[in-house]
Structure 1
């Protein structure tokens, strides 16, 4: 026999009703409490939670209007909006009970009641209460999960002029429901900007849903975004809602939208214009309420080519356009970013916090960072793992020459390069000045990579450090 569950409260001024109700219901429920004075209801609800409340419509001799029942029904629902209240009424009072249901009661039973009907009515009411409780708990859980998932994984770092402009754009665009297009090279932090837009928006307590369109195959695009019905295709074993529906009320981030083929761009445009999705295998349209933020690393001039991207979709997406600057255009932000990630990875790997030597900071500031912040982050993680000194030095950051990359470290040319400091004359044979110029030139060529500069000069790293200190470099 299964264990009895459920807690019932019976409120009636007739002791016979209370006794009969308790004797009947205690065989079916774990707990049955009775109360002959409705004034006790607030205290009872404050100290306990009931799965169902049986409430009489009238209290006191001669009462038949049901007014008292309406008053206490209202008070119960004010205390517990999820309460399930079943009204007890006499024969002839069905009309009053129906009115009570319009005001929030779940059901009613007429007295004298039939035991089977009373048990059936309470059974349905208790299940309703359980469903309401589960739905409420699920809603709270979803809200908590949505907030946790939507929180930015890391801050947007940098106080340079380009980054202040970006933050200003975010602050102005976030409170609106305008679609936003984020442009920038790989590794510049486009998803961070999207999350910050969501965090500052009116949808911040709803879900932030991210979709990498570069990783979605063409055959699954519609199923992934619009959902599908069971049996719509070979592997569709169950109904599934798409990302657009899953982001209902929140924000949908479409990353790498520039990789989307033209024929799929047309389908996305239709959905964004009509604000409806039709799951694969269904002919029923489902309304959607989402804010769309898109991002791409495709260059703006290329994005405005009809052969690459539909211009009508572009106009739909770029109500606000945010351009993220590459790291090489904001070198003044590099120290803050480097120190942040150094601390992050030192804590992650249980290492003592480390500072940067001057040559280490000069090296990472001089490098072009083709992979932007992502590449700098990985370089810092590697340095934390491999560095054995008390502070980061230039040797902890090994940068390969990267010709043909914007701002990249150039390979040394066989042609003579301009000297770092002009000699006093073409025939100047002063060894001190010649040595200083040679070291300065090597450091410049190798972007302050001490290991590469020392190797080029035929020195050890220690010897190069001594000479740099000697010449004030």
Structure 2
């Protein structure tokens, strides 16, 4: 069981984080400062150190040196995200911005521990190789190299597992996900891992073919079937015989073509446009869409019987904004690819670019990220690619500064908690109220705002909304 050290001076955050990790089978120790951690524990003995950046006494980055190579995950508020750049320069393995939710923290912890285990395994394998000239390969290969998709977040790990289970079958597959998430990559992985891998995979974008030509393109036509049909021609379904047919954006397929496609799935045969003869085909169908086919079927815009034929196996690809640190890994891979195309070997992302890549929501998903990196490589005149050069519509100084630090649990709890041990489901609003009531007697408004990682204006607005009056006495007034 991995042993994690939490160093955080706010009891309410520390306790909630400890319970979260313990519920997920981690052994946890905690301290309120770097000094306390030094006095109570042997810091290098932990598998991971999770520390707030701003601590009483020494900052959390001191634990990077004290950990002697053990990974350190730095927690920081949105208001001090720029400090995360310095933390990573000093050797922090990663940072996580407050407020964060349960899944975000668990994904970061899981990934860091997994990467550390992989590194240790590689080091052990190198050591064994240096001692033994021959021998069996130890252990199974748990990589996703044969799938060909970058990313290791939990949703993608689940996706890889499903791909490996589904690929060897001949079942129809429906891949769902936003535009640009990489649905064709999943289809390619399903084909490559299937018994049809040596046969062709034919990819068709249903939205890119004019409606008047879609049936001819898919199913072929006979000579004279329509004006301009001077010769017979096989369609794309025939071309995929023995292999895989991938229909992207199948929600755009006209109803007439849907009826023909249903015949392919039900009878395993096609009939060219203008022909009276049918012919057998052996095709596995993989379809993809960003639309809700079930809703389209209810309003008559998609055949319900075809929907259920396609929906034998459904795979849902997460959006890039839901994949955590995968976005930086994917960006690095794109940078390597585009650098090679441009003949550049010196390019790297500047720290502000890495932060911006992680924080931007990427509405265009992986496709938008790839285009941004390609553009930056072409335009970059120095070794470092800045956030500005990526063209990301985000300012680091404006990163949601109206938010405040704390742990955002999965469900909200009561807003009446003002003292004592926090509940397991304490919400962000609860935390804000608890913190302000506990500290406003001995902290100024400026100090409260700074500690919460918000502006004084935001602090005042949240007081108004939550009905927390400002104390008239106990703290010297500010000018």
Using the size of structure 2 for normalisation, the TM-score is: 0.53
Structure 2 match to 1:156: 149
CA apart distance, 1:310 = 1.7
Q: Is the 8 A contact 2:403 2:453 kept in 1?
A: no
1:176 maps to 2:155: no
The corresponding residue for 1:194 is: 187
Match of 2:313 among 311, 320, 325: 320
Question: What TM-score results when the alignment is normalised by the length of structure 1?
Answer: 0.54
Match of 2:336 among 343, 352, 355: 343
DSSP-derived class of the 1:331 partner: coil
CA-CA distance at 1:357 after TM superposition = 2.9
Q: Find the counterpart in structure 2 of residue 279 from structure 1.
A: 272
- 8 Å CA contact retained: 1:386, 1:396: yes
The answer to whether structure 1 residue 389 and structure 2 residue 377 are counterparts is: no
Q: Provide the C-alpha distance between the structure 1 equivalents of 2:195 and 2:150, rounded to a whole number of angstroms.
A: 23
TM-superposed CA distance for 1:215, in Å, is 1.4
> CA offset at residue 167 of structure 1?
0.9
Separation (CA, whole Å) in 2 of partners of 1:336 and 1:360: 13
Matches within 5 A, 1:299-310: 299=292, 302-303=295-296, 305-310=298-303
- State the partner residue of 1:229: 222
- Larger mean CA deviation between 320-329 and 389-398 belongs to 389-398
DSSP 3-state at the match of 1:172: helix
Deviation at 1:260, TM superposition (A): 1.5
CA change 1:292–1:301 in 2 (3 A) is: closer
Partner in structure 1 of residue 237 of structure 2: 244
Gap change, CA 1:219 and 1:430, over 3 Å in 2: closer
Query: Structure 1: where are the runs of 5+ without partners?
Result: 1-151, 403-408, 443-473
Partner of 2:251: 258
Instruction: Please tell me whether Structure 1 or Structure 2 has the larger radius of gyration of its CA atoms.
Output: 1
Number of aligned residue pairs: 283
Q: Is the alpha carbon distance of 1:269 and 1:391 closer, same or farther for their aligned partners in structure 2, counting shifts above 3 Å?
A: same
Find 2:393's aligned residue among 368, 376, 400: 400
- Contact map agreement 1:420 1:440 (CA 8 A) in 2: no
Q: Secondary structure at the match of 2:369?
A: helix
What do you get for the CA RMSD once the two structures are aligned?
A: 3.5
User: What is the Cα deviation at residue 273 of structure 1?
Assistant: 1.1
Mapped partners of 2:399, 2:351: distance in 1: 24
For residues 418 and 198 of structure 1, do their structure 2 counterparts lie closer, same or farther at Cα, with a shift above 3 Å needed?
Answer: closer
Q: Which has the higher contact order (CA 8 A, sep 6+)?
A: 2
**Deviations 1:442-467 (Å, cap 9, x if unpaired)?**
9xxxxxxxxxxxxxxxxxxxxxxxxx
Q: Distance in 2 between matches of 1:174 and 1:351?
A: 38
| Alignment of 1:219 onto 2:212 | yes
1:249–1:289 contact (8 Å) kept in structure 2: yes
Match 2:324 to one of 314, 324, 331? 331
Sort the Cα spacing of 1:300 and 1:311 in 2 relative to 1 into closer, same or farther, 3 A: closer
Q: CA deviation at 1:304?
A: 5.3
